[in-house]
Amino acid sequence: MRPLVFLEKMNEDSKLLAFQFNRAFQSLSIVNDLNNSNAIFIKPNLTYPIYKKGVTTRKEFIESLISSLKEINSEIRIYIGEGEGGYNSFSINKAFMNMGYFELEKRFSKVKIVNLSKIPSREIEIATMQGFYKILLPEIFFNEIDFSISCPVPKVHCITKVSLSYKNQWGCLPDVMRLKNHYMFDHIISKISDLLKFKYAFLDGKYGLNGNGPIVGNCVEVNWFVASNSLGAFDVIVSEMMGFEWRKVGHLKMAAEYGFIPRREEIKVIGEIETLKRKYILRRNIWNYLALVAFHSKEITHLFYFSPISRPLRKFMYSVRKGPIEFRQQA
């Protein structure tokens, strides 16, 4: 099917938001997939232990999405999941509780909240331009899930420039030390998304994050409703709405090399993109530039997190700036 992006201003009223989901479903032809599936997976962006505007996906957005999906197929099983906070920074179960996600299990039948770090995993070998790369991925995607949905928020990222539908899947890696894979991020994130059957994306675009993300920065209210049947098309169009050239985003450039990004002229856009655009600006600080160097280096990552001197190095750094411990204090 032709890559399609459905976009318009988000309705704040829950009933009207449900109508938006229904219209998007019809445009994306997701109905057939829903009726022919037994189980699907929804991935919100929960990169913080409490709800934070522009940083985490709203429970209310996921709730409206589930309600609309259940209207089409009431018997479908829906899993909503995320892995533990990277580097053991916070408990995802506490995050689910703090943000009210467990309430969705009570409201809807056959809906299950899943900690992806606590269920069986399978080692997968991914073919990349850098050679084959082995990584652990949750078993549930291979033996139960028919297709998956990514639900990011529109935010900048101090390392990857943007955090959208592809970047959202990094939280599917069950290993809390998944940062050891950062140097391969650009090469594997689109392939991981494909392996985990991510076929659709729905943007919780009420709030976004500008300036310096993915956690700190300036919250902006943009009220974007964007849906697509192609993660590649979705990230191209939302990047454009944010004022970023997608070809200058490393993991999107590599996704294009692997055949996951359609040409701009191939993407059918339903809606008036020009009326919704809002210029985002990424402002990196000195710590971001240092982290950027480490992000792309296997050796520096090992030195900072896994070597005998890693603990004193981190202790020194976090003596002059906030570290992951702030998450534990707020969880």
The span from the CA of 217 to the CA of 39, in Å, is 36
Domain boundaries, the chain: 4-286
Q: Determine whether domain 4-286 maps to CATH 3.30.450.260.
A: no
Alpha helices, DSSP H only, in the chain? 14-28, 30-35, 59-72, 92-98, 103-107, 140-143, 185-195, 231-242, 250-257, 286-295, 298-305, 310-320, 325-330
Helix axis angle, 298-305 to 286-295, nearest 10°: 110
Tell me the three state secondary structure of residue 146. Answer: coil
- How many other C-beta atoms lie within 10 A of the C-beta of residue 256? 17
Distances in Å between the Cα of 155 and the Cα atoms of 111, 159, 165, 211, 309 are 28, 12, 11, 9, 34
Higher pLDDT, 61 or 323: 61
> By three-state DSSP, how is residue 195 classified?
helix
Q: Which of the residue ranges 14-18, 266-270, 292-296 would you say has the lowest mean pLDDT?
A: 14-18
CA atoms within 13 A on the CB side of 72: 23
What's the pLDDT tens digit per position in 26-76?
999 999 999 999 999 999 999 999 999 999 999 999 999 999 999 999 999
Instruction: Work out the number of other CB atoms within 10 angstroms of the CB of residue 38.
Output: 12
Instruction: Lowest mean pLDDT of 4-13, 130-139, 290-299, 310-319, name the range.
Output: 310-319
Q: Looking at residue 126, what is its pLDDT? A: 98
| pLDDT score for 328 | 40
Listed in sequence order, the residues at least 6 apart from 4 whose beta carbon sits closer than 8 Å to its beta carbon are: 27, 28, 228, 229, 230, 233, 267, 268, 269, 270
SS3 149: strand
DSSP code of residue 84: P
Does this model's pTM top 0.85? My answer is yes
Beta-strand relationship, 147-151 and 198-210:
parallel
d(CA 71, CA 75): 10
**Quick one: pLDDT band at residue 15, thresholds 50, 70, 90?**
confident
For 149-188, the pLDDT digits (tens) are 999 999 999 999 999 999 999 999 999 999 999 999 999 9
What does the alpha-carbon distance between residue 220 and residue 159 come to, in Å, rounded to a whole number? 20
pLDDT at 233 over 50: yes
d(CA 201, CA 271): 16
Average pLDDT over residues 296-301: 94
Find residue 225's DSSP bridge partners. Answer: 8, 204
Q: How many helices (H) and strands (E) does the chain have?
A: 13, 12
Residue 243 structure tokens: 């004022």
Given a contact cutoff of 8 angstroms between Cβ atoms, the answer to whether 133 and 125 are in contact is yes
Q: What is the pLDDT of residues 65-81, one digit of tens each?
A: 999 999 999 999 999 99
User: Hunting for tokens 């089409």 — which residue is that?
Assistant: 72
